[in-house]
Amino acid sequence: MEQEKKWLSLPVLRSMIQNSFRVLGIVWEKNKGAVIALAFIFLVVSATPFWQSGARALLINELVRLAGGALVTPYLMALIIFLVLSIFVPSFLFTVQSYLSRLFWFFLAETFELLMIKKKGEIDIAAHEDPRRMDLFTKVSEQGIWRLQNFVDRQFYVLQNIFQALIASAVLLYAQWWVFVIILIGSIPELIAEARYGWRVWGIHTARAELRRRFFDVKSHFESLPSLTELRLFQNIPYFLSLVKELFGTFQREERAAERRRVVHRIASLLISEAALAFAAVWFILEVVHGNLQIGTLLFLLASMGDLRQSISGLFANLGRQYQDSLFVTDVFAFLDIEPVIQIPQKCISPDPQKTPEIVFEGVTFSYPGTTKEVLKDFSLRIPPGEKVALVGVNGAGKTTVVKLLCRFYDPTKGRIMVDGIDLREIDLEKWYAMLGVLFQDYARYHFVVKDTIALGRITHPLSMKRVREAARASEASVFIEEWEKAYEQMLGKVFTEGVEPSVGQWQKLALARTFYRDPRVLILDEPTSSIDAQAEAKIFEKLEELPKDHTVILISHRFSTVRHADQIVVIENGMITEQGTHDDLISRAGTYMRLFSLQARGYR
């Protein structure tokens, strides 16, 4: 019951007004000329119905006066010209209005799309990974752009409705004030019906955000070829289809109920408003019968009544839809107003880009936001410049978390990370990232030309084909690239003309080539060869060993054959370092490392 009352609350209405000003401010800043031009054409168009009905009324009154006289007076000719113009000019204005509105719609799509993409790029990785924000992200992703476009575009129609209602009100107030009052009162139920509907729709999307995420997740398996292949082979298509149908039905059941309520309320509100209009029309007709009103004037007043009814109805309907969209626009602004999780100091320290730094974890303890489990516990590790360090351990031990902290996706709960004696929290992140080359297990797949895909590793520098080829050879990607018809000019992605679809292993090699092309001071690889064959893997790690001695490498791998040549192997268990040393040292200790190494080695016998 409390939810039902909130739709008419002052804070929600205040929020709609604030959203209107804020979103118009964004558009005004981007393109003042478009806003002015569109507002002007909408205002002019709003007056055209009165021009047309007024021209007809004057002409009819004049014709009644001249009936039977067979005279064509100059005044009559002027009225005929006035009528003809009232037919042709509005058509021209409507065409211009439609054209400008379409251009404005394209402008809004680009403006808001870029605004949302820019914000997504600015939001901390920590915020993207925070499950508490998932509902907001889902609503904004599904509803954000088109709701914003509608919200701005509809404000011009609201302006037109208001101006049209003001003209009609002035006419009817001059003729008979009470006619205006009853039409206005009769239209209010329509606004209430639209507002209640808008609140229900937003409430459904808010309450069912997780359900919708589940729906799109299950549906995505029919859009991915690997998933679809597995569904067919495992004979799971009927099962997944039933899941989609069930999720679809669950969500739409509430939407259908909201639509039914809307129809009932809308019919009731229309009956009230049309009854008010009919009563006023009958009164004016009786005035003509009694000789108090001319026929042309009657037609003008009836048209003005219809225009007032239509403009108020349109205004209330548009305000109701604005109210509905505003609830979603509020979510968009909540998204745009997300504050950084990682606080950047005003005066940052820039690391020396020509010097590989020493990295030290000092008593680092860390729990992910919203959880109490300590993923790392009093974690201390020193990585001298140029050292090749391997982090090993079972899944969930905390290896990838170490990398995320080093990339400063998060800050330690306790302890600190030092880079050449400087707390990472005081370092300029962009300058720090310029020194890093990181390849996570979930890497990006860019559907670009091969050379551009690799050169994305250092896009701030002009593309160098020499470095592209060197990076491709280092990652063993050159083997298949040079077999393709267009080699480094080959388009990636079957969805594009003449594009090829690399295998999983080939995609990983391309991602690795991109990292090599970056030529970072600190190279971080998280399972970089998980999808690559053993022969190619061996060659890749030979290339890693050939890297300049002043380049640090941090390697995470479950394949112990790939880490045995590291200068330092760090065994992580339950977020703590339990063993540390070279391969030979750890084998001699006969601990966890030796046990895991022996288990893998046994599998190759």
Claim to verify: residue 34 and residue 149 sit in the same structural domain: yes
Q: How confident is the model at residue 2 (pLDDT cuts 50, 70, 90)?
A: very low
Residue 507 has pLDDT above 70, yes or no: yes
Are the C-beta atoms of 512 and 477 separated by less than 8 Å?
Answer: yes
Who wins on pLDDT, 20 or 310?
20
Query: What separation in angstroms does the CA of 36 have from each of 31, 109, 273?
Result: 9, 18, 34
Q: Residues 322, 392: one domain?
A: no
Instruction: Round to whole Å and give the CA distance between 316 and 308.
Output: 12
Overall average pLDDT of the 366-390 stretch? 90
Tell me what percent of the residues of the chain surpass a pLDDT of 90.
22
Q: Are residues 94 and 160 in the same domain?
A: yes
Is 97's pLDDT higher than 50?
yes
Contact 91, 334 (CB under 8 A): no
Closest CA to 375 of 416, 429, 414: 414
Mean pLDDT is highest, among 3-17, 108-122, 542-556, for 108-122
Is residue 59 located within the same domain as residue 188? yes
- Residue bearing the bigger pLDDT, 498 or 268: 498
pLDDT in the model for residue 468: 93
Q: Are residues 326 and 394 in the same domain?
A: no
Stretch among 14-18, 246-250, 292-296, 508-512 having the lowest mean pLDDT: 246-250
The whole-number average pLDDT for the span 583-592 is 87
pLDDT for 71 beyond 70: yes
Among the three residues 272, 303, 336, which one is the final residue of a domain in this structure? Answer: 336
Residue 515 CA to residue 455 CA, distance in Å, equals 9
Rounded to a whole number of angstroms, the distance between the first and last alpha carbons of the chain is 70
Asked whether residue 328 falls in the same domain as residue 375, the answer is no
CATH of the domain at 578: 3.40.50.300
Q: Are 334 and 139 in contact (CB under 8 A)?
A: no
Are 174 and 294 within one domain? Answer: yes
CATH for 81: 1.20.1560.10
More confident residue, 118 or 190: 118
Q: Are 540 and 476 in contact (CB under 8 A)?
A: yes
pLDDT for residue 416 = 93
**Looking at the structure, do residues 322 and 363 belong to the same domain, yes or no?**
no
Domain boundary among 296, 321, 336: 336
- For residue 494, give the nearest of 504, 485, 502, 505 by alpha carbon: 502
Greatest mean pLDDT range, 166-170, 380-384, 549-553? 380-384
User: CA dihedral defined by 473, 478, 479, 483, rounded to 10 degrees?
Assistant: -160
For 184, residues 6+ apart whose C-beta sits below 8 A from its C-beta are 312
Q: Which of 448, 392, 436, 401 is nearest to 572 (CA)?
A: 392
**Residue 152, H or E segment:** helix 134-175
At residue 450 the predicted structure's pLDDT band, cuts being 50, 70 and 90, is: very high
What pLDDT score was predicted for residue 541?
A: 73
Note whether 311 and 409 are same-domain residues: no
Q: Is the pLDDT of residue 147 over 60?
A: yes
Name the average pLDDT for the chain: 82
**Helical residues (DSSP H) of 475-551, grouped into ranges:** 478-481, 504-518, 534-545
State the average pLDDT over residues 62-68.
78
Domains in the chain, number: 2
pLDDT grade for 4, boundaries at 50, 70 and 90: very low
Residue 3 scores a pLDDT above 50: no
Kindly state the average pLDDT of the residues 541-569: 80
534 shares its domain with 439: yes
Is residue 415 one of the residues assigned to a domain? yes
Query: Is there a domain that residue 85 lies in?
Result: yes
Decide if 249 is inside a domain: no
Domain match, 478 and 331 both: no
Q: What is the DSSP string of 68-109?
A: TS----HHHHHHHHHHHHHHHHHHHHHHHHHHHHHHHHHHHH
3-state secondary structure of 327: helix
DSSP string, 384-416: -TT-EEEEE-STTSSHHHHHHHHTTSS--SEEE
pLDDT at 102: 92
Q: Is the pLDDT of residue 384 over 90?
A: yes
**Angstrom distance (rounded) from CA 350 to CA 382:** 21
Structural domain of residue 553, as residue ranges?
359-604
Q: Which two tokens stand for residue 190?
A: 């329509």
Q: Which residues contact 270 (CB under 8 A, 6 or more apart)?
A: 190
In this structure, is residue 182 part of a structural domain?
yes
How does pLDDT run across 9-52, given as a tens digit for each residue? 566 678 888 888 999 999 999 899 999 999 999 999 999 988 88
- Whether residue 424 has pLDDT greater than 90: yes
Closest CA to 152 of 339, 332, 14, 310: 332
> Is 471 buried (19+), middle (13-18) or exposed (0-12) by CB count in 10 A?
buried
377-391: b (≥16 Cβ within 10 Å) or e: bebebebebbbbbbb
Inform me whether the pLDDT recorded for 204 exceeds 50.
Answer: no
User: Which of 590, 598, 589 shows the shortest CA–CA distance to 561?
Assistant: 598
Q: Where are the beta strands (DSSP E) in 420-467?
A: 422-423, 436-439
448 is written with which tokens?
């670009």
Is residue 337's pLDDT more than 50?
yes
In a domain, 223, yes or no: no
Q: Specify the pLDDT at position 383.
A: 92
Contact between residue 477 and residue 509 where contact means Cβ atoms under 8 Å apart = yes
Other Cβ atoms within 10 Å of 88 Cβ, number: 9
Q: Within a domain: residue 344?
A: no
Same domain (yes/no): 140, 91: yes
DSSP codes of every residue in 1-42 = -HHHHHTT-HHHHHHHHHHHHHHHHHHHHH-HHHHHHHHHHH
Average pLDDT in the 208-221 region? 70
Identify the domain boundary among 303, 336, 369.
336
pLDDT, residue 276, reads 74
